Amino acid sequence: MIFEKKQMNYSISQLSKVSDTNKITLRSWEDRYDFLVAERTETNIRLYTKDDLVCAINTRALLSEKIKISSISKKSNDDIQKLVDDKFKDKKNANYQIYIARVLRSALNYDRDLFDTTLYSGFTNFGLYDFYFNIMYPSLQRIGEIWSVKSNVVEHENFVAGLLESKINDITKEIVENKESKDIWFLFIMAPYIFLNRGSSDTISLLETAKMVSDAEQNMVSKWNI
């Protein structure tokens, strides 16, 4: 799945919403630590790049690990990202924010492998309902903020929707051919997200969708001994 990549700029309000970081905090990081320094327009409006957004998302995750901003701000973007991934690889780590950061990064960078590994590790470690409600649900909400940027760029939505549709198609085929699928839980989570019109007033909210999978978890875990 290949999309033409276009440069997207984000305002401080958009960066704040997607990274779940207060605007006052972002300004203080720039002033005090020379960290996440935005480009400025001729009218002095801050504009952030995709790399800035990924860095802010990763920083938010590391702060939830009780790592101080004074330490994070001294690291490069690559080092910050590596630290997030190291936390993810720690099987004892149960921090939702680490998983959310990786889901968001996979959407921004069109990284299917990152998406898949985060998805399956999250389900295995947290269970179906916990994973959906505390990781996938807030991730999809914040990806929606990325899509809300006033731009002609639609690749992020196409990419994530394509990943989910592809996964659903694979599972459906497996069910038809083998009469079963170990990943059938995915259909419960993602089918409403894919097939309902998200712009319609009739759309089932992600929160309501979470209720649909609550009862499915016990059956899936019991059946497949996960």
Among 126-135, 166-175, 199-208, top mean pLDDT goes to 126-135
Give me the mean pLDDT over the 88-95 stretch: 93
**Which pLDDT value is given to residue 188?**
58
- pLDDT exceeds cutoff 80 at 203: no
- pLDDT exceeds cutoff 70 at 218: no
Cβ atoms 55, 77 nearer than 8 A: yes
Task: Dump pLDDT digits (tens) for 136-146.
Answer: 888 877 877 77
Q: Which residue would you say has higher pLDDT here, 135 or 218? A: 135
- H-helix segments, 90-205: 96-109, 112-126, 128-131, 137-147, 155-178, 185-195
Q: Which residue would you say has higher pLDDT here, 84 or 113? A: 84
Round to whole Å and give the CA distance between 128 and 135.
Answer: 10
pLDDT-derived band at 158, boundaries 50, 70, 90: low
Q: What's the mean per-residue pLDDT of the chain? A: 78
pLDDT-derived band at 87, boundaries 50, 70, 90: very high
Q: Domain locations in the chain?
A: 12-224
- pLDDT exceeds cutoff 70 at 70: yes
CA angle (153 as vertex; 151, 158 as ends), nearest 5 = 135
Round to whole Å and give the CA distance between 176 and 181.
Answer: 9
Round to whole Å and give the CA distance between 97 and 27.
Answer: 22
pLDDT-derived band at 33, boundaries 50, 70, 90: very high
Instruction: Count Cα atoms within 13 angstroms, Cβ side, for 106.
Output: 25
What pTM did the predictor assign?
A: 0.73
**Which pLDDT value is given to residue 129?**
72
